[in-house]
Every structure is written in structure tokens, then in C-alpha cells.
Chain A
Amino acid sequence: MRKLKFHPCGNYKEKYKEELTIFTTDFGRLWLWIGFLLLFVAIPFISSNYTLYVINHIGIAAIAAIGLNLLIGFTGQISLGHGAFFGVGAYAAAILATTLGFPFWLSVICAGIITALVGTVFGLPSIRLKHLYLTIATLAGQFIIQYLLLNWESLTKGADGIFLPRATLFGTDIKGDRAFFYVVFVCFVILTWIAVNLIRTRYGRAFIAIRDNDRAAEGMGIPIFRYKLLSFAISSFYAGFAGGLAAYYIGSITPEPYTLLLSVEFIAMIIIGGLGNIPGSVFGAIFIMLLNELLSHATTFFMNLGTLTGVALQIAPLREFIYGLAIVLFIIFEPRGLAEVWRIIRSSFRLWPFSY
């Protein structure tokens, strides 16, 4: 076994390859294995069913948030239609499973691919348009998809929704929160691994070049339109995949949840977590989902107090207010999000007692 490497007390990088490494020291890799151990061995057995339910939803949201971060944070194309793409994924999985009888794994992956195609269609305006106009185009996409989900009754069964069959994988039933936990988090780990490595390839570097200066990127010979579409497709694939998982997990779907509010929720996740930062999207997903749970607990708490039922009904809309407040505060005070806060904490530990 080779010697463990520690953080050097300065920048001693000599090769580009060292700049590109994900783990600068072996400690990072060690922590990763400890993290895996905690995630897959400890957490499923010490948490109650309810906690697992929340954690599963965090995992699903984190997959979608990573996809959105690839688009907004790395390619610089703002999308307000991610909630709808999530819905497209959920419906695609449900329809494939019920009408064509696709197995669980195939229908979730196909849901991702179908959503990637839909996302590409709504990315098409980016051939002529830049940020402002593109944002509006995705807003239109959100409303058009919402309309189709509700009104294309021969396919989506309208407001009645669709019930999904029980998910099975390799001949075993995936029932209960614990079994689903493994499915969600294995997918989560694989997709995060793909995203982290995608950023280091020429594709990811082209995305970053487009974000930083599209004219310069074009000048360097990057076919901007193709890469923007690719980014839309990848981001939508993540959304659709997460949507498919969510549909199977919940067991039945209706068009209601996939509104503009969901899109704003995803945007809030990546802004709070940190734009252009993969772990940041996970932090953001955790933050928003926990906030959601906290607020719904507060609502039920006040509801049960009897005299304060009125208060409970009153504070329900405050959820939206708190999202908004969180977005605004993070943009003004910590535009690089929770990931930056985490980096500052880590480096202050590392530099102690000589932190600056």
C-alpha cells in the first residue's frame, strides 16, 4: 500500500492532471468510502421508515437537481421548465409500465431518454436565442407540458392519474422504503459519478466555456448550438430519470405536482447549494427537502393544538415565502451557496490555528 497523502501547505501542482483530480489527497478517497459505508450500511438500519421516506425523496430530488445544475450552473442556460420535465419522466415511466408492460429498470431509463428528447425540443430555440429569451422559452415549455399532462387524456388519463405496478428488479419485489432506498441511492451514486466525470471531459469543459463566454467559445471552435442542445438533453435525462423513480416510489401520479412551483423549487435547490457545483446540488436538495418537512411538521403541529388551527391554515403559504426568502438571501449574501460555506469551514479546519 502506498503512503497516504496529506494536504500540502501550498500549491505544488506540477501537471495539468493534478489540477483535474477529484481527490487531491487520499483522505478525500478515504472519506468517500466512509461515506458509502454510512450511507449503505448504517443509515438504512438506524432510521425509521419515515426518515427513510424523507431520505429517499432527498435522493430523488438530488438527482434532478444535479441535472439542473449541469444546465444552469455549468452551461449557463437558465431553465424554468425542470419541474415539467420531471413530470414528463414520471408520466413516461408510468405509461411505459402500464400500457407496454416494460420492467422497472427499462421504463425508468426510457423515461430519462424520452425526457431528454422532449428537453431537446424545448432547447431548440437556443439556436437563435440567448439567456433572457431562452428562459422565457423554457417557461413556455413548462406551461405547454403542464397542459398536455392534464388534457391529453388518451395518453395521460387526465386528472385521474395513473397507478403504477409494483417495481421489481432481478425478479425480486422492491417493496417498502428500505428496498427503495438502495435502488434510489445506487442510481444516485452512479449518476453523480457520471456528472462529476462529465465535467472533466471535453464535453464538460465545452459547457463551462459556453457559460463563461459564448463568443470566445465559438471562436475556439466549439459548436455552441450542438453543445447547448446536448446540455439540455443531459439535464432533462436526469430530470426524467428522477421523475420515473419518483413515480414508482409514490405508486400513483397525477398532473398536479409538476407546476412552476416545482421548477422554482429545483432552482432554489441549486442556488442554495451552489451553482456550478455538484456536491452543492446535493446540499441544496437536502436543505429544501428538510425545510419542506419542517414546515409541514409545523403546520400539523399547529393544527393539532386546536385553538391554533387557524394559525396552521395561515402559515401554509409561508412555505413559498420561505423558499423565496432563502433564494434571495443566498443570492445576496452567499452567491456560491452552501458548497462555498462548506469549503470555508473545511479550509478553516485545515489552516487552524493560522487561518486568515
Chain B
Amino acid sequence: MEFFLQLLVQGLSVGFLYALASLGFVMIFKSSSVLNFAHGDLLAIGAFIFLVFSVWLNLPIWLAFLLTLVGSFALGFIIERLFLRPLIGEALIQVIMLTVGLAAMFKGLMLFIFGGNIFNYPDFLPKNLSIQWGAIQIAPVYMASFIIGIIFLSIFGFFFKYSSQGIYMRSVADNQPAALSLGVHVRRVFALSWAIAALVCAISGIILGIMSGINVHNLSHMGLKVFPVVILGGLESIGGAIIGGLIIGILETFTGGYISTSLKEVVPYIVLVFILLVKPYGLFGLVEIERV
């Protein structure tokens, strides 16, 4: 029983990581219906920008965090401007291939600059955040990430629901020609959605970095783990991403605990194929009925 509880808590925390990692992905998909294969690399870039500011330049943590947010926001703008803007109106296959290319590019560049080593952030989280609950202990990292996650989720929830830019973004996602004809600046919306997505990625990347160290390979692999999560939850749904993340995380740790550790890595993908066959639009996704 204790083993079961231990696995459950571990699974929930891993799942929380996945949920966090998939937020930026859902954000981009919601506003521009682009499958972003460079997602993991955006996570890694965010984590490394924070590393540069906090460790190499030795800035205070809050300043480093702020600069990272600004930097990744700008990076999202630049990516959209340089690479995605020329492709507005092109076939979807081109855009997806472009993100595959971007992923390879970013990964190579980061390996070139930082190498394949594991880096760590300085220990800056207060110790009294940890919670002891019977035999189960929740580390301060998880508490901090939980708090940050809740704050940003509610900010973005309100942003999408009430701010005019958020409403523009939703309208573009819903029907691009209609939004254009009603005077929505679609190009600005795309730029903004990539910038926001890069920012969300940076936050998730930093939290992932605090939890498991910063390594190019791990973080960019995380970008691929996102796919089972968002497919399970439904591509358009942020709530679905969170629940999907938790389910995948639990499934993974239970497979690792009870069956075999090597199976752990592929179980999400096996689940993915199964979901695609049975319920392709996920738990909370938008069902598009098209009998073709």
C-alpha cells in the first residue's frame, strides 16, 4: 500500500510536469492550429536563458526571472516574424515541417553553445515550502511550481476570457477568414500568440530545470512527451492538458513500478496510438465531424 501511495504521489508530480510542459503547446495550437514540433526546444531555450542570467551573469533571481520572461517573449516574436510569417496562407504540411526544421536548428545550436551536460540552478527556493503529510513528503520545488502554475494559469485564463487581445486570439483560432473580415489584425494575433507561448514555455522550462536539472536532451525530449498528453486531453483544451498530463504521469510511474522500467518510456506512446484509434479528439477536444 505504501509503495502504491509512493508511486501515486510520484506519478502525480511527474504528471504535473507534463501538464506544465504542454501548456505552451496548447496555447499555440489554440490560436494558430500549428503543431509545434519545436516545443521542447522552446522549453530548453527558456531554461537556458534563465541559467545564463542567474548563474553566468549572477543577477538576483527576481531580476533574472523577469529578464527571462522578457527575453523569451521577444524570442517568440522573432520566431514568428522570421520563420512563420512568410508561411501565412501556405499548406499546413509546410508549417509543420518548418517547426520540425526549427526544432533541429535550435537543438543543434543549444548543444553547440551549452553542450550535453546537466546544469543546475542555485538553490533559491525557501525550505519551509515543503509539506510533510504522513509518510509522504512534497518537496518545495513542487509547491513552488504548483503556486507559479496556478498563478499563471489564472492569469492566462482571464486573459483569454476577458481581454480584447485574448478574444481576438480565440476568434482567429475559431475562424480565420471571419476574424479577418471583422477587422482582427490576424498577423498581430499570430505574433502575440507565439510570444505568449514562448513565455509560457520559458516558465515551464525553468520549473522543469529546477526539478530535474537543465539538459538539452531531456528538455527537448519533453517536447515530444507533450504529444500523448495533449492528444489524451484534447488538443484545444488547457484543462484537458492538465488532466491528460496527470493521467500520463501516473500511468508512466505505475508501469515503471509494477511492470518494467524500460517499458515506462514508451507507454505514453502506446496509449497515444490507442487513443487515436478509439477517441481521436481526446477527452475534452473539439470534435470535428467529417466523414472523409
Write out the residue numbers on chain A whose beta carbons fall within 8 Å of the beta carbon of B102: 324, 328
Q: Are B272 and A136 in contact (CB under 8 A)?
A: yes
Does residue A147 face the partner (Cβ distance < 8 Å to B)? yes
Q: Which of B56-64, B197-205, B243-251, B273-281 contacts A (4 or more CB under 8 A)?
A: B273-281
Write out the residue numbers on chain B whose beta carbons fall within 8 Å of the beta carbon of A335: 90, 94
Q: With the chains together, A143 CA to B228 CA distance in Å?
A: 12
Residues of A near any B CB (own CB < 8 A) = 72, 76, 78, 80, 122, 124-125, 128-133, 135-137, 139-141, 143-144, 147, 150-151, 214-215, 218, 224, 260-261, 264, 267-268, 271, 275, 314-315, 317-328, 331-332, 335
Q: Are A137 and B276 in contact (CB under 8 A)?
A: yes
Q: Are A131 and B92 in contact (CB under 8 A)?
A: yes
Scoring B residues 186 to 197 as 1 if CB is less than 8 Å from chain A, else 0, what string do you get?
Answer: 000000000000
Whether A321 contacts B108 in the complex (CB less than 8 A), given A136-B227, A140-B270, comes out as yes
A124: which of B92, B263, B277 is its contact (CB, 8 Å)? B277
Q: With the chains together, A221 CA to B90 CA distance in Å?
A: 27
Q: Are B93 and A321 in contact (CB under 8 A)?
A: no
Write out the residue numbers on chain A whose beta carbons fall within 8 Å of the beta carbon of B104: 261, 264, 268, 320-321, 323-324, 327
Closest residue on chain A to residue B260 by CB atoms? A151
Within residues 248 to 273 of chain B, which ones have a CB less than 8 A from any CB in chain A? Answer: 262-263, 265-266, 269-270, 272-273
Write out the residue numbers on chain A whose beta carbons fall within 8 Å of the beta carbon of B94: 331, 335
Q: Are A140 and B228 in contact (CB under 8 A)?
A: yes
Chain B, interface size category, equals 35 or more
Whether A328 contacts B101 in the complex (CB less than 8 A), given A124-B277, A215-B292, comes out as yes
Q: Are B227 and A318 in contact (CB under 8 A)?
A: no
Q: With the chains together, A20 CA to B247 CA distance in Å?
A: 53
Closest residue on chain A to residue B278 by CB atoms? A128
Does residue B155 face the partner (Cβ distance < 8 Å to A)? no
List 14 contacting pairs A-B, 8 Å CB cutoff, sorted by A.
Answer: A131-B93, A132-B33, A133-B231, A135-B96, A136-B35, A140-B276, A144-B266, A147-B262, A151-B262, A264-B104, A321-B108, A324-B105, A326-B101, A332-B87
Q: Are A129 and B269 in contact (CB under 8 A)?
A: no
Tell me how far the C-beta of A145 lies from the nearest C-beta in chain B, rounded to whole angstroms: 10
If A78-B97, A132-B33, A328-B105 are given as contacts, then 11 extra A-B residue pairs at C-beta distance below 8 Å, sorted by A number, are A132-B96, A136-B272, A139-B224, A141-B273, A144-B269, A214-B292, A218-B292, A315-B112, A328-B102, A331-B87, A331-B101
Q: Are B100 and A264 in contact (CB under 8 A)?
A: yes
Tell me how far the C-beta of B290 lies from the nearest C-beta in chain A, rounded to whole angstroms: 8
Q: With the chains together, A322 CA to B107 CA distance in Å?
A: 11
Q: Are A135 and B112 in contact (CB under 8 A)?
A: no
Whether A332 contacts B83 in the complex (CB less than 8 A), given A143-B269, A324-B106, comes out as yes
Q: Are A128 and B277 in contact (CB under 8 A)?
A: yes
Tell me how far the C-beta of A232 lies from the nearest C-beta in chain B, rounded to whole angstroms: 14
Whether A325 contacts B105 in the complex (CB less than 8 A), given A133-B280, A224-B292, comes out as yes
Does residue B183 face the partner (Cβ distance < 8 Å to A)? no
Identify which of A129, A150, A324 gathers the most chain B CB atoms within 10 Å of its CB: A324
Q: Are A125 and B273 in contact (CB under 8 A)?
A: yes
